[in-house]
Amino acid sequence: MSLPALDRALAEGVTLVMLTLTNNAAGGQPVSMANMIAVSARCRAAGVPFFLDAARFAQNAWFIHSREPGYSDVPLPELARRMFDLADGCTISAKKDGSAHIGGVLASRRATSSASLCSWRTPPPRLR
Ligand SMILES: Cc1ncc(COP(=O)(O)O)c(C=O)c1O
């Protein structure tokens, strides 16, 4: 994710940030751990929930393991744990890396229903 663009969105009052693993808008390019750490830190500082579109989390973890300096000795399950630890929640289309034929997941650390998730942060007036 572009960090300058994220900074602008946070300054404008965006209410939730979602990072897609891998980055479909960029042709399926992987997201680095360094970028995830930076996005997570900015969202936490701004008090904005940070979610992962984690449909391809295993593929992304493999890219980090095989390409990003400093992670080749980290086992893939540990890499996945570190990725999810950075986020407040995630969505998963389970038929991708999740090894299911159909279905999906919405997971959140702070909310127990999609209704309460929607009221997590009050949208700025121009988005109401
Ligand atoms: C990262 C990611 N998220 C979400 C989706 C959408 O999944 P679905 O087709 O189950 O809606 C895709 C589809 O390829 C994807 O790659």
Cis amide linkage into residue 22, ω under 30° from 0:
yes
Which domain range does residue 115 map to? Answer: 3-127
Query: Which distant-in-sequence residues (6+ apart) come within 8 Å of 58 by Cβ?
Result: 76, 80, 97
Tally the domains of the chain: 1
The residue whose CA has the least distance to atom 12 of ligand 1 is: 55
Q: Which residues form ligand 1's pocket by a CB distance below 6 Å?
A: 20, 24, 53, 55-56, 93, 95-96
* 6 Cα to the center of ligand 1, angstroms: 22
For residue 27, give the CATH number of its domain.
Answer: 3.40.640.10
pLDDT, one tens digit for every residue, the chain (128 residues):
999 999 999 999 999 999 999 888 888 899 999 999 999 999 999 999 999 999 999 999 999 999 999 999 999 999 999 999 999 999 999 888 867 888 888 899 876 666 666 666 666 556 54
Residue with the two structure tokens 């680095």: 32
The residue whose CA has the least distance to atom 3 of ligand 1 is: 55
pTM over 0.75: yes
The residue whose CA has the least distance to atom 2 of ligand 1 is: 55
